[in-house]
Structure 1
Amino acid sequence: MARSSSGIVAGLTVAALVAVGFLGYQASATAPAHPAKDAPQAAAPSNAPAAPAPEAAKPAALPPDSGTGARVVYSVNLRRVWLVGQDGREQKSFSVMPSTAHPKPGTYLVSSRAGSVTGSDGVPVEHVVRFATVEGIVIGFSARVDGQMPQPDPTRKTGGIRMTRADGDALWAFATINAKVVVLP
């Protein structure tokens, strides 16, 4: 009798752990961008590079060879992302901080998303939108939870293309699974 009871308990424990894990994953994938009350953000250390000016370097228009239809357009050299609607009109454009690993120019699809994780640089990030892999390094857009956009350490291969939290919110809402991402040089 004791053996059958312990088997049932073990089975129920495994089932409960699986259910909790699944619910945790679902919660993180659909978590809101910010809790109702965000904690005040600490000032950036004085040696941290400043983020690019959000609109100062904005090009006049979406690059001409950036595809058609609804898409995310990412220019590595311009350090900029455009969110383009089905009608081909720019809905939003913003500066980003590229990672140290860059995808080749081309068209990709969003392959996975995560509400919050630890980035490849060890920093907590949110609204992760993954679309490519380069030499085993996963490439995706994300926003640091602390709101900073420092220059990545050039000695480490990382795949996080960083943006402000507000821009991360917009990209998260726009770039769902299988959304098109066009990478330009």
Structure 2
Amino acid sequence: MSGTSSMIVTGLTAAALATVGFLGHQAAANVPPGLRHPASGAAAAVRQALPDKDRPTALPVRSGTGERVVYSLKGDRVWLVEAGDKVSRTFGVSPGTVDPARGTYRVTSRSGAVTGSDGVPVEHVVRFTGVDGTAIGFSAAVDGSAPVLDPQERTGGIRETRADGAAMWKFATIGRTVVVVP
């Protein structure tokens, strides 16, 4: 190689290494905190760090064990989970204006048919907690509508379709575990 050619190759190599270094730095700076130093269970951490849009129907990790209802606040989704972590049904929901805190609850009461806090007749009401006097639970509007939310009104109804409400009613009997995840 001539002196000029070797200088060009050296210059291109240096530019390429600088670009790779810069891109590597950018990638490292944008790694989610839970993945910066993965230890044991790294595969689970990677799965958990994936955005919900990449796996909207996957049962969230760290959502409890045994038969349970899992409710994702961020995903507005419910999973009915049988023994052995077998999901028997998953579906989207429309939350009220008051969210429950993350945690584990038990179904405390049920009503076949009532009027929701928004004035709409609902069926298959499954309640599991309350927040400052507002009951929180799952229900289905008899007319099949989603709630029309007024941020000034405190509503704790998490609306399902009528078919999903019927499945919840059958599955979530008194005492059934409900796990609320982010």
Scaled by the length of structure 1, the TM-score of the pair is 0.68
Say yes or no: does 1:73 pair with 2:44.
no
Q: Which has the larger radius of gyration?
A: 2
The more displaced of 82-91 and 146-155 is 146-155
Q: Give the CA RMSD over aligned residues.
A: 1.5
Separation (CA, whole Å) in 2 of partners of 1:58 and 1:77: 13
Whether the aligned pair in 2 keeps the contact of 1:118 and 1:124 (CA below 8 Å) is yes
Spell out, residue by residue over 1:61-91, the C-alpha distance to the aligned partner (whole angstroms, 9 max, x if none): 1000100000000001100000000121111
What is the number of equivalent residue pairs in this alignment? 130
Structure 1 residue 141, shift from structure 2 partner: 0.2
Separation (CA, whole Å) in 2 of partners of 1:60 and 1:129: 22
After TM superposition, list the pairs within 5 Å mapping 1:24-63 onto structure 2. Answer: 59-63=56-60
Cross-structure match for 1:94: 91
Separation (CA, whole Å) in 1 of partners of 2:55 and 2:176: 23
Separation (CA, whole Å) in 1 of partners of 2:148 and 2:72: 16
Say yes or no: does 1:142 pair with 2:139.
yes
Q: Give the letter aligned to residue 104 of structure 1.
A: A
Q: Give the letter aligned to residue 143 of structure 1.
A: A
Q: Give the letter aligned to residue 98 of structure 1.
A: P
Separation (CA, whole Å) in 2 of partners of 1:128 and 1:57: 31
SS in structure 2 opposite 1:171?
helix
Separation (CA, whole Å) in 2 of partners of 1:57 and 1:144: 30
Q: Give the letter aligned to residue 64 of structure 2.
A: G
Say yes or no: does 1:161 pair with 2:161.
no
Separation (CA, whole Å) in 2 of partners of 1:142 and 1:85: 20
SS in structure 2 opposite 1:146?
coil
SS in structure 2 opposite 1:173?
helix
Structure 1 residue 150, shift from structure 2 partner: 3.5
> Structure 2, unaligned stretches of length 5 or more?
1-52
Scaled by the length of structure 2, the TM-score of the pair is 0.69
Kindly report structure 1 stretches of 4+ aligned residues shifted beyond 4 Å: none
Whether the aligned pair in 1 keeps the contact of 2:69 and 2:177 (CA below 8 Å) is yes
Structure showing greater relative contact order (alpha-carbon pairs closer than 8 Å, 6 or more residues apart): 1
- Identity in percent: 60
